[in-house]
Amino acid sequence: MATVLITGATSGIGLALARRYAAQGDRLVLVGRRDPATLDAAFFTPARYCRVDLAAPTCADEIAAWLDAQAIPTLDVLVHNAGLGFVGAIGDQPAADINTLIDVNLRAPVLLTRRLLPRMAAQGRIVFISSLAAVMPTPDYAVYSATKAALDAFAANLRLEMQAQRRPVHVQVIHPGATRTEMHAKSGLPARRSRTGFADPDAVAAAIQRAVARGRRQQTIGAANRLAFHGVKLSGTSVDRLLVRRARQTSPRHIHADDAPHGHALITGAADGIGRALALALARRGYAITGVDVDAVRADAVTADLRALGSDATIIVADLARSDAFDALLDRVAARPPITLLVHNAGISAVGPFAAIDPARQQAVIDVNLRAPLLLTRGLLHAQRLASGGTVVCLASLSHFVGYPGAAVYAATKDGLASYARSLAPALAPDAINVLTVFPGPTRTAHARRYSPDNRREQQRMPPEELAQRIVRAVEQRRTRLIPGAGNRTFAA
């Protein structure tokens, strides 16, 4: 008899999967946020049901405490199934919904995996229920897709780390397609769309159960979904370009930036490293610069440097790890000209054995690297501050191609940002706003120096000034993708 923990177990795929494991005699731990009085009392017994809100930062500790109270020291299967969605225009999604999607779809699996990893039995399985949307550009549910892409990357890098440590724990990712569950109605999808052609949750659960038993690293459920999954993977950027071309045929908003004739760039993480180099390079081209950085001393220094070049420059001191800082930040940005160039550059990392890294630090990585770009983009679109014909730049990472064991959460956030950029491109195409995703390799910055396990080859890393020039040229050429450096392109290939 195996002990199986399933999150999101009160409905849909999670409930169907729970009933199947119960039928074969396994011990169940069912996690959900619903009042037990509304559930089937015979199935959701006090010995099975752990009521926890996965959007809460304490969810992992609460589940661990419940397991202790039930005297469950070991888990054989951990299924991260819980998930939320949102359907609609990117600028229309409430900030609170973005936060909840990130918390439930990404932060909870990260924190819960870290907390429960010591309980996993030898040859135990950690299963992440992702989505076909993780590999596709989806302008109508960009945040959902970004969180699922991030979840995929987290799982892949965690697997590499487990293998390197020779820990006998299997990490699996399963991609269902659209399934008839309550999630779609909650996300805002019209009922008629969620009924047409969507898979039956019990059939999906049966396929997931078989995939878990087989131990496959990755499994897409359904023949049509497998064809779509591999087709998108093999097509490279063809699907993305097609969606952008189609989107350009719809009506634009025409937001002009006449009061910043040479352009206005908003750059996060602008006081040091790549962000500072970009700000200086753009200032020399006549751009007005608005930067955002948490370091007030460096912010003052780079402001003086920018103004010495004749730039209309302001650096806003703000902590992007705090979601409650965005209203004030957006108010400050609103007083500046419309933005012709938005650069999501700010980033932090947490490096080391996954289970040994402070969970507060892991949360901060998610907040700065993924949550902040999504909230800032949403706020700017909602306030109509992105000028037509402009560019959005998202700095992802070469880890998208080569992996980053020892920094699984960092890699997850950067893949999530890259996915978001893919969805953003067709969403902004009607306004002729280009989206450029940059995948930098090792760069000669304090950030790289701080987190690299070996700095002996630091001089071989690309200087931030060179990277900035490459990014500026890519912006001017209206490119959509940049892997800077021949060596990095070789790795990516």
Q: Which residues are catalytic?
A: 410
Cα separation, 90 vs 326, whole angstroms? 16
- Close Cβ partners of 200 (under 8 Å, ≥ 6 residues apart): 179, 180
Determine how many CB atoms are found less than 10 A away from the CB of residue 321. Answer: 18
Encode burial over 197-218: b for 16+ CB neighbours within 10 A, e otherwise.
ebbebbebbebbbebbeeeeeb
CA distances (Å), 265 to each of 290, 384, 402, in order? 6, 15, 31
Max CA-CA distance within the chain?
73
Which of 353, 264, 354, 342 minimizes the C-alpha distance to 306? 264
CA distances (Å), 375 to each of 18, 20, 109, in order? 35, 39, 21
Determine how many CB atoms are found less than 10 A away from the CB of residue 118. Answer: 10
Which of 418, 373, 423 minimizes the C-alpha distance to 152? 418
- Close Cβ partners of 126 (under 8 Å, ≥ 6 residues apart): 78, 80, 113, 117, 120, 155, 158, 169, 170, 171, 172
Q: Do strands 339-344 and 386-395 pair parallel, antiparallel, or not at all (unpaired)?
A: parallel
CA distances (Å), 313 to each of 10, 243, 337, 380, 393, in order? 52, 36, 12, 19, 19
Encode burial over 341-359: b for 16+ CB neighbours within 10 A, e otherwise.
bbbbbbbbbbbeebbebeb
CA distances (Å), 117 to each of 238, 313, 413, in order? 39, 47, 21
Indicate the SS3 state at residue 348. coil
Q: Which residue has the tokens 């892991």?
A: 362
**Residues in the chain, total:** 493
* Residue 340: DSSP 8-state: E
Cα separation, 371 vs 99, whole angstroms? 7
Residue 222 zone, left/alpha/beta (φ > 0; ψ -120 to 50; rest): left
Q: The tokens of 194 are what? A: 């969620």
